[in-house]
Chains A and B, each alone.
Chain A
Amino acid sequence: MSMPLVLHQARYDLRAFLRNKQGRYFTLILPIVLLVVFVSVGVGGKTVGPDHADSSTYYVPGLSALAIVAASFVNLVISITAQREAGVLKRRRATPVPAWVLIAGRTLTAIVVSLATLTMLLAVGHFAYGIELSAATIPDVAVTAIVGSAAFCVLGYALSTRIRSADAAQPMVQALMLPLYFISGVFVPSVDLPGWLRHVASAFPVEHLADGLSHAYSPASGVVWSDLAVLSLWAAGGLVLALRRFSWTPSTTTT
């Protein structure tokens, strides 16, 4: 297979990502800024969540979910839409490179960025707030993060089929994601929400990523397969839409 070509693509996608100020800020920096702010302000009190966890301990998994969505979904939708409208995707498709290599390379980039941001969140949590990390949880966190990242990449490809211009991408993804962050336990602990809103949230993938991560971080619970199953279901739906509708060419056509 063309794994070396996927790595080649991911290497240049990653380099381009790191050169983009906006992408860098919203993906790498913002989750850490939010962690510091939330813990300092004490959103939800000194202890939060069902287990009365320390607020810093609570927010690391929540903001990990945000970081993964930012790297995999938000950043991907914005960059793919811009590249499509600029003719960049079409020009790549004019070469022998297979479509799946471009998609896999971009997804791998998102996963790498997600894991890097997660590592930074954990490092800040550990050194600034003394969060204890159990080495035993690392595989569980990694599996949950990778499945979540891949699922949100597929959803990103699916959403990009519904966005016509690069300008519309940023407001559209934020309009979709901000409410979901609030009701999915990313910003505000879910237990503080009314029951019906928690039901609404549980229909969407963000809640399952946040829930899956918060359990994965705790040595007692490990990987929550039901959360990963819901994420995969969403990804499967997204894949169907993306396969049927994804376009490599700009939306304006001439004869």
Chain B
Amino acid sequence: MTAIANATTPRPPGQPGGEAAISIRGLGKRYGRVEAVRGIDLDVAPGEIFAFLGPNGAGKTTTVEILEGFRHRTEGEVSVLGVDPDAGDGGWRNRLGIVLQESQPEPGLTVREALELYAGYYARPRDVEETIALVALDEKADTLGEQLSGGQRRRLDVALALIGDPELIFLDEPTTGFDPQARRAAWQVVEGLRALGKTIFLTTHYMDEAERLADRIAVIAAGRIVALGTPETIGRRDRRAATITFSLPANLRGAHLPAGLRGVTHLDDRGRATIRTETPLVQLLQLSGWAIAADLDLPDLDVRRPTLEDVYLELTRDRKDG
């Protein structure tokens, strides 16, 4: 029964099953005496959106460029779509789409012409007009690439990476320097790719981007993976202390709080109360029971879980160089 259920139920993203889109074992990269990457193990499942986070200099770009076949590893085993990137040929590149961290439009070509040029590189390209529509550049199809805005250029980059109808797409900091509107537009494009069943390997410096888009996140620091998990659970985020804050009415002092809260509540000079707790429900029950009984409504009551950014900063702190 279980076996049949496993075979027919769609596999939740991030669960190993079938051939991994990306498989990394003991990856190491050394530049002279500098060890940029020190033994990475990772698996990315087909159809997954995987976010790869880490501070500058942590080995992120090195790892991504090894996966893309632009750099050569010094240690370990790597398989991307079942192929060693060091031996990746045209047939392999036919199945990949790569959005580089920094690349300008093709000079002297319009959006449509650039896509026509790149479509010619692939065995089974997508339709040019359809791809233009997918990145919402319809109105700019006849505009020269260099006349596009920053956000539009990046969308053209994404379109160029999609024109070959790839199974796996690398997005290296796709929204760096975007205004909020442009970022939302780019996210919608990525979500459209998820709907098409593409596997996406994303690097970003924006935690909200990773949280919104990624099925799983890996954090790299000083050349090692320091945390791996879903946006909700990475770095034991779901188990970490929550923070309850509220303002104590002006006529009350700490001594007026219920007995169970007195010891754990920190009060600042302005009457702002903070409770750090791993069992927020218990403290909230005590607090609300007390407040209702005393006819207080605590209008600025707030309960906050640690954000992904809190967890990320803690994971990467003091790990600049292991």
Contact = CB atoms under 8 A, between A and B. Distances in A.
B206 interface: no
Interface residues of A, number: 28
A249 B95 CA distance: 21
A122 B243 CA distance: 83
Contacts of A254: 56, 61, 101
B94 A12 contact: no
Contact of B113 (A15, A20, A96): A15
Contacts of A19: 108-109, 144
Contacts of B116: 12
Nearest to B62: A255
Contacts of A90: 70, 100, 103
A91 B90 contact: no
A15 B110 CA distance: 10
Contacts of B123: 96
B214 interface: no
A79 B107 CA distance: 9
A250 interface: yes
A82 B57 CA distance: 27
B49 interface: no
Given A87-B100, A255-B59, A96 B106 contact: no
Q: What interface size band does chain B fall in?
A: 35 or more
A218 interface: no
B102 interface: yes
Interface string B231-274: 00000000000000000000000000000000000000000000
B120 A249 contact: no
B275 interface: no
A96 B164 contact: yes
Contacts of A9: 117, 120
Most buried by B among A12, A18, A96, A250: A96
Interface in B21-37: 31, 36
A128 interface: no
B93 A250 contact: no
A143 interface: no
A212 to B, nearest CB: 32
Interface in A116-167: none
B75 to A, nearest CB: 16
Given A12-B116, A87-B103, A98 B90 contact: yes
B165 interface: no
Interface string B66-88: 00101000000000000000000
Contacts of A20: 107-108
A250 B102 contact: yes
A226 interface: no
B28 to A, nearest CB: 13
Interface of B: 31, 36, 56-57, 59-62, 68, 70, 90-91, 93-94, 96, 98, 100-109, 113, 116-118, 120-123, 144, 157, 160-161, 164
17 contacts: A12-B106, A12-B109, A15-B113, A16-B106, A19-B144, A83-B107, A87-B102, A87-B103, A88-B106, A90-B103, A92-B121, A95-B164, A96-B93, A96-B164, A98-B90, A254-B101, A255-B59
Given A87-B102, A96-B91, 19 more contacts: A5-B120, A5-B121, A8-B117, A8-B120, A16-B106, A19-B108, A86-B103, A86-B104, A88-B103, A88-B105, A88-B106, A90-B70, A90-B103, A92-B121, A95-B121, A95-B122, A95-B164, A249-B70, A255-B59
A-B pairs with lowest CB-CB distance, top 9:
A16-B108, A87-B103, A86-B104, A96-B90, A19-B108, A94-B98, A97-B121, A96-B93, A95-B121
